[in-house]
Amino acid sequence: EPEVTQTPSHQVTQMGQEVILRCVPISNHLYFYWYRQILGQKVEFLVSFYNNEISEKSEIFDDQFSVERPDGSNFTLKIRSTKLEDSAMYFCASRATDTQYFGPGTRLTVL
Amino acid sequence: AQSVTQPDIHITVSEGASLELRCNYSYGATPYLFWYVQSPGQGLQLLLKYFSGDTLVQGIKGFEAEFKRSQSSFNLRKPSVHWSDAAEYFCAVLKHSSASKIIFGSGTRLSIRP
């Protein structure tokens, strides 16, 4: 069964550094998402992406964040200058119709 | 605004006992509802979903959920839990828009007593 994959599974970085989180959505899906879950809190929507552009973003998704689909398979989330409060689990999701399928997540730790 | 409420933060049940996890939603139109499970250190796995039709939906791992419009509820049930069911369970609603983002509840942590 096709799955969403994410790399790395765990990323440790220093505050102020740039990180890129990678996702490979399910191959025939056209809608892509990033969510995050700060430890002990609920899963929150960050951004949605369709047809090579952002279709919606949350208040969390400020100018430090960007998304890209650099080729036909990868979908990336870049955080330009990480802050301590960016430490969280980041989930990628994709969908073809109404059901979103989530990847296993990348745990980002900012020191 | 759309929202999902899971009133129980943590539930402990004995192995073999029945389970019901509560979920209430607030949504103006017909909701698309989901239950996801997150095992420790793992991602979010879809257990089941309700879009329309039969209000009792069956999912994976022996779970089911019942949509009750009059109560704005979508409770998750399992007749007999197994130790491997210990996990965090999230109820969620799809917000219909161009993006169709998912709004999650705060989750219910399920522990299983041997």
List the alpha helices (DSSP H) in chain A: none
Structural domain containing residue B77: 3-113
Whether B33 and B25 have beta carbons less than 8 Å apart is answered as: yes
CA distance A86 to A16: 11
Q: Which residues of A touch B103 (CB under 8 A)?
A: 45
Least confident stretch, A33-42, B22-31, B80-89, B95-104: B95-104
- DSSP H/E element including A34: strand A31-37
In B10-114, DSSP assigns E strands to 10-14, 19-21, 24-26, 32-38, 45-50, 56-58, 64-68, 73-78, 87-94, 102-104, 108-113
Task: Find the mean pLDDT for residues A69-84.
Answer: 93
Q: Which residues of B touch A101 (CB under 8 A)?
A: 46
Give how many domains chain B has, as a whole number.
1
CA distance B8 to A30: 35
The band of B25, judged by pLDDT with boundaries at 50, 70 and 90, is: very high
Q: If you average pLDDT over every residue of chain B, what do you get?
A: 92
Least confident stretch, A5-19, A65-79, B97-111: B97-111
Whether B26 and B36 have beta carbons less than 8 Å apart is answered as: no
Q: Using the predicted structure, report yes or no on whether residue A72 has a pLDDT greater than 80.
A: no
Give the CATH number for residue B95: 2.60.40.10
Q: Cβ B104–A44 below 8 Å, yes or no?
A: yes
Express each pLDDT in B42-98 by its tens digit. Answer: 789 999 999 988 899 999 999 999 999 999 999 999 999 999 999 999 999 988 776
Q: Using the predicted structure, report yes or no on whether residue B29 has a pLDDT greater than 90.
A: no
Q: Which residues of A touch B99 (CB under 8 A)?
A: 31, 33, 48, 50, 55-56
In this prediction, what percent of chain B has a pLDDT beyond 90? 75
Our CA angle for A1, A76, A66, nearest 5°, is 145
Q: Give all domains of chain A, ordered by start, each with its CATH number.
A: 5-97 (2.60.40.10)
Whether A10 and A111 have beta carbons less than 8 Å apart is answered as: no
Whether A81 and A16 have beta carbons less than 8 Å apart is answered as: yes
Q: How many CB pairs under 8 A join A and B?
A: 56
Pick the residue with more confidence: A2 or A37?
Answer: A37
Q: Using the predicted structure, report yes or no on whether residue A53 has a pLDDT greater than 80.
A: yes
The answer to whether A35 faces chain B, any CB pair under 8 Å, is yes
Give me the pLDDT at residue B98, please.
62
Q: Cβ B43–A105 below 8 Å, yes or no?
A: yes
